[in-house]
Structure 1
Amino acid sequence: MVAQEFTVDLNKPLVFQVGHLGEAYQEWVHQPIVSKEGPRFFANDLLEFLTRTVWWAVPVIWLPVVGWCLTKSIQMGNTPPQLALMVATGIFLWTLIEYTLHRFLFHIKTESYWGNTAHYLLHGCHHKHPMDGLRLVFPPAATAILCVPFWNVVKLIATPSTTPALFGGGLFGYVMYDCTHYYLHHGQPSKDPAKNLKRYHLNHHFRIQNKGFGITSSLWDIVFGTLPPTRSSSQSG
């Protein structure tokens, strides 16, 4: 007898289904369904509620934390030019973190039940339903948990007086990233660079999903050789 392949029922909560796809999960999750209506994740209403985040929650919650970090840095004796340099450094470091997380964690290959389930919750759902506006930015509770190790890493590489500003700059970079990411999916930019950035990111979703990992910039795709080919070069190859 031949085992029947598992089929996901899109009319039922998805999270505990996708793990059963096994090796077929990677192909399934990278076949996007373009609909503004998001799928149901959990049968439990509380768990379902926790998976949904409005985009404006990101700046409302995290910009005050950025402000606290910068105020703390000023109180520790840093001048405005020093503060600006540290914030710029934090933003720059965030762009590398953004690229690294997207390429190596969000696009990790999974095939086990729990591996597929975790990947779907982390990033797979976004590739399957790229226009789901309530599951596009990172939930604040998850961000808060991740802030703890990032704060500790900054403490290891920086002095006590520079740690708050560097961390604040990185957190500000994150806020820009999440808001930019939402805009690239749901905004209608008419001019560059936003128009080109939207084209670049949607190319990652709908044409070449193993390249173009930068969201706010293509810098690290250029540096690490993951820049997607243009249509003309890919067609002639």
Structure 2
Amino acid sequence: MVAQEFTVDLEKPLVFQVGHLGEAYQEWVHQPIVSKEGPRFFANDLLELLTRTVWWAVPVIWLPVVCWCVTQSIQMGHALPQVALMVAFGISVWTLIEYTLHRFLFHIETKSYWGNTAHYLLHGCHHKHPMDRLRLVFPPAPAAILCVMFWNLVKLFATPTTAPALFGGGLLGYVMYDCTHYYLHHGQPTKDHAKNLKRYHMNHHFRIQNKGFGITSALWDIVFGTLPPSKSSS
């Protein structure tokens, strides 16, 4: 069977099907199915469980780590104003990481079997089923692996006393990102800024998916010229 002729059976586990779509995968994955009931990914119950994460797990697990990191820099002699600046810098760096990952990794175009499969697990599933409550935030296990990598990267560029606060700021930025992302999909904002941010993100999902890569703000979309046309965000 030619790859383009393959049809995904939504009643069966999806992950090992989507790779067969080949070049047709990109078109398929960007045709969203708006349903609060998420699809099954794996036939194996344990693997399936590992793909599902409640949103509140993110702050519950990672905010204590943020507090510990900030405390370390304070105990090593930095004053609160200094630590606050480090945390703020870490958050600002995260916003750039957030934009870069979303634009260049999460929206990479794939067509091979394993490329499509990996992309679907990483981000494609979110575009195909954008209202799936349990697959919106990043699962803790892979997040922990990435945290170790980022921690070692921060240590290369920072001093031993500033690294914890800088890393804590970046991690706080991630927590803000994931919680904001969840809220934009499932919250009902009443303030103008939040309403505009929700409209901006829904525009990315349902109208112009190759623009508007920022989640917590549109800053880097403005800087790098990926801001959606105004007529598409109304």
**Equivalent position of 1:205 in the other structure:** 205
**2:99 alignment partner AA:** Y
* Separation (CA, whole Å) in 1 of partners of 2:23 and 2:3: 14
Change in 2 beyond 3 A, CA 1:61/1:2? closer
Deviations 1:81-104 (A, max 9, x none): 000000000000000000000000
TM-score under structure 1 length normalisation: 0.96
Change (3 A) 1:4 1:159: closer
Shift of 1:233: 9.8
Q: Please give the alpha-carbon distance, in whole angstroms, between the structure 2 residues aligned to 1:165 and 1:75.
A: 11
Aligned to 1:168: 168
> Which residue number corresponds to residue 222 of structure 2?
222
Task: Give the deviation of 1:191 after TM superposition.
Answer: 1.5
CA contact (8 A) 2:53 2:134 kept: yes
Deviation at 1:165, TM superposition (A): 0.1
2:3/2:23 contact within 8 Å kept: no
Runs of 4+ in 1 over 6 A off after TM superposition: 1-4
Partner of 2:121: 121
Secondary structure in 2 matching 1:213: coil
**2:53, 2:4 → 1: CA distance?**
37
Structure 2's unaligned 5+ residue stretches are: none
Q: Percent identity?
A: 88
Alignment partners' CA distance in 2, 1:4 and 1:121 = 20
How many residue pairs match? The answer is: 234
CA offsets 1:150-197 (integer angstroms, 9 cap, x no match): 111111111111000000000000000000000000000022211100
Measured at CA, do residues 81 and 102 of structure 1 come closer, stay the same or move farther in structure 2, by a change above 3 Å?
Answer: same
| Structure 1 stretches lacking a partner, 5+ long | none
For the residue of structure 2 that corresponds to 1:193, the secondary structure is: helix
Root-mean-square deviation (CA), in Å?
1.5
User: Is the CA contact (8 Å cut-off) linking 2:214 and 2:220 kept in structure 1?
Assistant: yes
* In 2, Cα distance between equivalents of 1:13 and 1:74: 49
Q: Calculate the TM-score normalised by the size of structure 2.
A: 0.97
Structure 1 match to 2:187: 187
d(CA) in 2 for partners of 1:225 and 1:122?
25
